[in-house]
Amino acid sequence: MARKTVFLALANLLIPVAMMVFATGFFPYKPFMPGLATYEELGWRDTMGWKDVPAAPFDKVVFMVVDALRSDFVFGDQSGMRFVQSLIRDGTALPFTAHATSPTITMPRVKAITTGSIPSFLDVILNFAESDTSSTLATQDTWLAQLKAKQGGKLVMYGDDTWLKLFPDFFARADGTSSFFVSDFTEVDDNVTRHVPEELLNSDWNAMILHYLGLDHIGHKAGPRSPNMIPKQIEMDNMVRTIYDAIDNEDHHENTLFVLCGDHGMNDGGNHGGSAPGETSPALVFMSPKLKKITEFMDRKSPVDPKGEFEYYRKIEQNDIAPTLAGLMGFPVPRNNLGVFVEEFLHFWDDGADRIQLLLRNARQVKKIVEATHPGLSFSDEVQEMDCEKSLTDGETLACKWQRVVQIMSSVATIHPKMRFLHEAQETMSSTASNYDVSRLVLGTSLGFVSFILAFLALPPLTPITSTGIFYTATLILYSILMFASSYVEEEHNFWYWATSAWYFYLFIRASRKEWQSTFLFHPAIMLLFLHRIIRRWNQTGQKYAGAPDIVHSGIFSGSNSVVLWTLVGATYMDVTLRLSRHVARSIATFDDSTKAPADDDDATDANRFLATLAVLPLGATAFVFKLAFTALDAPELTAGINIGLLQWIVGVSLVDMARMVFGGLVLSGVWIAFADWKRARGRRGRKGRGDLAVALFDLLTVLLITQTKAHNIPLFLIFRTQFFFLSLLSLSPAALTLTTLLTTQTAFFALSNTNALSSLSLSTAYNGLSTYSPLPVATLLFLCNWAGPIYWTLAPLLLLGAHGTSPRNVAVGELDARDWIREEREHVLGLARKETQAEARRKGWTAWREHVARLTVGQAAAGTAVMGACAVMRAHLFVWSVFSPKFLYAGAWAVGWHLGVGGMGGAVVWGAGML
């Protein structure tokens, strides 16, 4: 027994170690060329008759980033940015849709914009580390570094403090704001705007960076169709007007270029991080009165209809910004750039030789990166004979295209070969796999497999072979195989939905052979199937059918029908509040008469129950009002049917204070109930124990999980509670309960509208009770928000497992609360019914817990190993960064946050409370 415990401990220790080792090989930083680029002597100078570096039309830049500025927010007919559209029509603005590659997160996108390179996917993690300094660009070549290095170079920055982390000590004046406090729509932007008028009067800077966050925060909280979205766009448009008017009227801004862009877009849920068209299509606009010179024969229509999904005007790569600014402002292209000078701006130079030189310098710089990536190939500036007709590798193809540039430059200079080489090099190098450390990939996957073997050795005896064991094994094998297919990873929810349905149907077949023949329609397993069907249709998730009809978006909960939603939400809160009142009633009974032995369950009088209800009702009511006020501000369409006067009163309260009241009430209730349970346990003195601390902790946690859940998903917890009741009627074995835990946790995760895409992570409730950004509380609340369903179903089966005995008894079908039966069965497992000693009973209880954890660990180790193996094998796959990499990050969250955090530590707390 001790040996199995050691195996289990080692298996759980190895799971995060394996993930970490694999991550260091899968997400390494890409190498970069250090130092600043300088203008170098070009070949063919005499042949081409070139003069010096082409004169730059601009010497200053205002670079304004509006976080999550999706292309239609500027160019669409519903846009609030009418002034920008008027500049496009006047020819003083040149618009593009900038393609932002995955991951569409602020930090990697800022890296792409400033360096012109393709950032590491690891920046997804570093993006959330507020104190991170390892991701700095202080030693890399960027257009900011080039401008700062110019004589008299001075930079100023206001807005997202991501710029301060990336560029430490770069700015002469700066004021950063945290990008993570998404509850703030106004102050975070006002803090930027207040500096702008004064800076526009200054002439001592050559670059002013502005990064506005409010529009992104609105998206995270309420989506792109929020009523706050258009007013925020108008606010940003007014800021553009202020800056442009200064450029147009102030002499010291005569040569100032104004760039407006988004770092990424957003999806229909208001989130980002993935590769959906809305997320990868931010707007990009260059503005200056000087642009009239080059826009005379260009399309000036605005607003316009998109050519494709969110594709307005010409689509360019986001990293094209870096070389374009280099040419327009007269500094060398940054060393690590993979971008291409935007062709439309070539018309600023009347001399064709200047245009050729700009593109050639861009091509020579990109060629150096290609040479470093393919050191065995020749990229000589001399004409060479090459066989370019055979089947070629990516590197050989680029060598042939460069040789074509050399041949043409040796005779006559034209633009097109250089553009072809640049675009081909950009496409090839952007899609080149990262410099994976294959040895670490193998080691991490091997450690994952070792953890699986150790967990397997910690399992209880596998004989006799049972149908539950076969189902469990088949589920893990099939899941592991499906992880190697990108389409199945994107639609993983379907696997768990069907597996859970099959399990419930099997439970019906197994039980119907013995009983329930006369109540077929109301058989517990049939009811589970029925409820599972509702859960499946609650939110349409995944990628392929993300916009398909579902219950939430059917209109049943919006507009005047919102009363239906809030009736269900109220019923959910009322159910858990009444259950909490029973715990409090028993705790009150414990202190009724100190001369008596502590109270048992049935000792709570009507007066105690009444007092308990009065004590708990404010907690439930506050939580309900908080959720109503929260939703009225973030998703008013879900409260349209509520009385206007009531909503106006509710919206006036402080959401931060109300959330803190709820959290504080939960803590105080937990302390009170735990103390009463401890006092009751001390006074048993051999009497029949009735402790219900485990159930009380679970009910308190349920209130917390509901508070962290979006309003339209709260009724799912009422369905979960009903499912729990029907499961309690099926007398499941410990192995069956573990399998049920595995299936229901995954099902609940996807049912709450989550996917394997980073963009489905919801930040909307990650700041409940917080007035500032703090990493640990935000991370905790973020996990509770997105894993609320799995947390519920990780702990709920423990109550049934703790109640499991050799001959479990059923509860009357008409009684919704199975608590009495659970307590009786817990007493049974403690050995009180068989006259066993407390020590023996506790030993058996912890053995049951260890075996349950061993089965879960086998499942987690198998899943994690399969994901790591799939990422290693598919590392050259087209969708490695958009599908497999996010899946690996989710697998890490499941392994550490869910399995070790909730299933391990959290489960141990609940189980230990039940053993008191």
pLDDT at 337: 86
For residues 715 and 423, what is the distance between their CA atoms, to the nearest angstrom?
A: 52
Torsion, Cα 455 458 462 468, to 10 degrees, reads: -50
Q: Tell the residue number behind the tokens 């309003």, with chain if given.
A: 711
User: Does residue 662 sit within a domain?
Assistant: no
DSSP 26-85: HSPPPP---S-----PPTTHHHHT--SSPPPS-SEEEEEEETT-BTHHHHSTT-S-HHHH
User: Does residue 111 sit within a domain?
Assistant: yes
Q: Residue 800 is inside which H or E element, if any?
A: helix 788-802
pLDDT at 808: 32
Query: The domain containing residue 339 runs over which residues?
Result: 56-348
Identify the burial level of 437 via C-beta atoms within 10 angstroms of its C-beta, where 0-12 means exposed, 13-18 middle and 19 or more buried: middle
Whether residue 236 has pLDDT greater than 90:
yes
pLDDT at 418: 58
Residues 140 and 226 in one domain: yes
Asked if the peptide bond before residue 790 counts as cis, ω within 30 degrees of 0, the response is no
Q: What is the DSSP letter of 685?
A: T
Residues 251 and 279 in one domain: yes
DSSP 189-209: HHHHHTTHHHHHH--S-SEEE
- Band (pLDDT 50/70/90 cuts) for residue 503 is very high
Q: What is the DSSP letter of 160?
A: E
Q: What is the DSSP letter of 520?
A: G
**What values do phi and psi take at 175, rounded to 5?**
-150, 105
Of 405, 435, 465, at which residue does a domain stop?
A: 435
How far is C-alpha 775 from the geometric centre of its chain's CA atoms? 15
- Band (pLDDT 50/70/90 cuts) for residue 423 is low
Whether residue 784 has pLDDT greater than 90:
yes
Residues 332 and 374 in one domain: no
Query: Of 202 and 846, which is predicted with more confidence?
Result: 202
Angle at 119 between CA 118 and CA 123, to 5 degrees: 160
For residues 155 and 669, what is the distance between their CA atoms, to the nearest angstrom?
A: 54
Range ranked top by mean pLDDT from 34-43, 373-382, 489-498: 489-498
Residues 365 and 276 in one domain: no
**pLDDT tens for residues 347-400?**
898 887 888 888 888 888 877 877 776 666 666 666 666 666 666 666 667 777
For residues 494 and 719, what is the distance between their CA atoms, to the nearest angstrom?
A: 20
Reduce the DSSP state of residue 94 to 3 states and report it: strand
Is 910 within 8 Å of 795 (Cβ atoms)? yes
**pLDDT tens for residues 246-275?**
999 999 999 999 999 999 999 887 888 877
For residue 106, which of 187, 147, 161 has the smallest C-alpha distance?
Answer: 161
For residues 417 and 485, what is the distance between their CA atoms, to the nearest angstrom?
A: 39
Is 433 within 8 Å of 879 (Cβ atoms)? no
pLDDT at 599: 47
**What values do phi and psi take at 119, rounded to 5?**
-70, 165
**pLDDT tens for residues 505-552?**
999 988 877 665 546 667 899 999 999 999 999 988 877 776 678 888
Residues 162 and 198 in one domain: yes
Whether residue 196 has pLDDT greater than 90:
yes
- Band (pLDDT 50/70/90 cuts) for residue 433 is very low
Residues 338 and 224 in one domain: yes
Q: Which pair of tokens denotes residue 216?
A: 């992104």
Is 259 within 8 Å of 286 (Cβ atoms)? yes
For residue 161, which of 125, 185, 129, 139 has the smallest C-alpha distance?
Answer: 129
Q: Which pair of tokens denotes residue 868?
A: 């790591």
Q: Among 228-242, 342-356, 464-478, 837-851, which is the least confidently predicted range?
A: 837-851
Of 348, 383, 402, at which residue does a domain stop?
A: 348
Identify the burial level of 367 via C-beta atoms within 10 angstroms of its C-beta, where 0-12 means exposed, 13-18 middle and 19 or more buried: buried
pLDDT at 896: 93
Is 907 within 8 Å of 798 (Cβ atoms)? yes
Q: How many CB atoms lie within 10 A of CB 586?
A: 27
Amino acid symbol at 580: L
Residues with Cβ within 8 Å of 465's Cβ and at least 6 positions away in sequence, in order, are: none
Angle at 713 between CA 710 and CA 719, to 5 degrees: 145
For residue 650, which of 679, 616, 676, 627 has the smallest C-alpha distance?
Answer: 627
User: Does residue 400 sit within a domain?
Assistant: yes
What percent of the chain is helix, strand and coil (3-state, nearest 5)? 60, 5, 35
Residues 36 and 72 in one domain: no
In terms of phi and psi (left: phi > 0; alpha: psi -120 to 50; beta: otherwise), the region of 69 is: beta
User: Does residue 493 sit within a domain?
Assistant: no
Residues 270 and 167 in one domain: yes
Whether residue 41 has pLDDT greater than 80:
no
Residues 179 and 286 in one domain: yes
User: Does residue 357 sit within a domain?
Assistant: yes
- Band (pLDDT 50/70/90 cuts) for residue 594 is very low
Helix count and strand count (H, E) for the chain: 34, 8
The strand order across the sheet containing 207-212 reads 173-177, 155-160, 207-212, 60-66, 256-261, 283-287, 93-99, 314-317
pLDDT (mean) for 114-133: 62
User: Does residue 169 sit within a domain?
Assistant: yes
User: Does residue 240 sit within a domain?
Assistant: yes
How far is C-alpha 859 from the geometric centre of its chain's CA atoms? 24
Q: How many CB atoms lie within 10 A of CB 605?
A: 14
Residues 110 and 79 in one domain: yes
- Band (pLDDT 50/70/90 cuts) for residue 186 is confident
Query: Of 820 and 651, which is predicted with more confidence?
Result: 651
Annotate 454-473 with b (16+ C-beta within 10 A) or e (fewer): bbbbbbeeeeeeeebbebbe
pLDDT at 520: 64
Angle at 158 between CA 259 and CA 125, to 5 degrees: 90
> With the C-alpha atoms ordered 180, 183, 189, 194, is the resulting torsion angle positive or negative?
negative
Residues 361 and 263 in one domain: no
Q: Residue 531 is inside which H or E element, if any?
A: helix 524-538
Q: What Rg, from alpha-carbon coordinates, does the chain have?
A: 32
Query: Of 827 and 808, which is predicted with more confidence?
Result: 827
Query: Of 83 and 585, which is predicted with more confidence?
Result: 83
Q: Which pair of tokens denotes residue 153?
A: 């170079």
What are 843-846's contacts with CB under 8 Å, separation 24+?
Answer: 845/802, 845/911, 845/915, 846/911, 846/915
Whether residue 887 has pLDDT greater than 50:
yes
Q: In Å, how far are 370, 409, 538, 545 from 377, measured between CA atoms?
A: 9, 20, 56, 45
Whether residue 878 has pLDDT greater than 80:
no
User: Does residue 119 sit within a domain?
Assistant: yes
Range ranked top by mean pLDDT from 78-82, 834-838, 907-911: 78-82
Number of domains composing the chain: 2
DSSP 461-508: P--S--HHHHHHHHHHHHHHHHTT-HHHHHTHHHHHHHHHHHHHHHHH
**pLDDT tens for residues 685-741?**
444 444 478 899 999 999 999 999 999 999 999 999 999 999 998 888 899 999 999
Residues 400 and 273 in one domain: no
Identify the burial level of 318 via C-beta atoms within 10 angstroms of its C-beta, where 0-12 means exposed, 13-18 middle and 19 or more buried: buried
Q: Residue 396 is inside which H or E element, if any?
A: helix 394-409
CATH of the domain at 131: 3.40.720.10
Of 369, 401, 435, at which residue does a domain stop?
A: 435
pLDDT at 455: 95
pLDDT at 572: 95
Asked if the peptide bond before residue 103 counts as cis, ω within 30 degrees of 0, the response is yes
How far is C-alpha 390 from the geometric centre of its chain's CA atoms? 45
pLDDT at 623: 93
Q: Which pair of tokens denotes residue 343?
A: 């062709």
- Band (pLDDT 50/70/90 cuts) for residue 634 is confident
